[in-house]
């Protein structure tokens, strides 16, 4: 018998101007449910604090068009890998 895991989820959340009071209700809920948060360098630490302590938060380093520390392909593959493990992944986009 194969070990079948339930599918994970990938949720894209816009950080907006960075103030946690201005994030959408659904965005805040997604962060609170996340197993993994892949965040841009421009995302505020206040927004990251909405994630649970057990969530894995990974800075994927995108700071705009000129200085990504990971390629878009690497970020996408990272998100897919965690989702295939059954994790709920939030991609927190800065700005």
Closest to 60 (Cα-Cα) out of 36, 35, 39, 82: 39
Alpha-carbon distances of 45 from 23, 40, 57, 92, rounded to whole Å: 13, 11, 11, 12
The catalytic residues are 40, 62
């Amino acid at each position: 018998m194969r070990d079948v895991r339930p599918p994970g989820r990938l949720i894209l959340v816009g950080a907006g101007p960075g103030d946690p009071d201005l994030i959408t209700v659904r965005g805040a809920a997604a962060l609170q449910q996340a197993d993994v948060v892949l965040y841009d360098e421009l995302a505020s630490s206040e927004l990251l604090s909405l994630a649970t302590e057990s969530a894995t938060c990974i800075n994927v380093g995108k700071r705009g068009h000129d200085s990504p520390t990971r390629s878009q392909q690497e970020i996408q593959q990272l998100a897919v890998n965690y989702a295939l493990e059954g994790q709920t992944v939030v991609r927190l986009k800065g700005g």
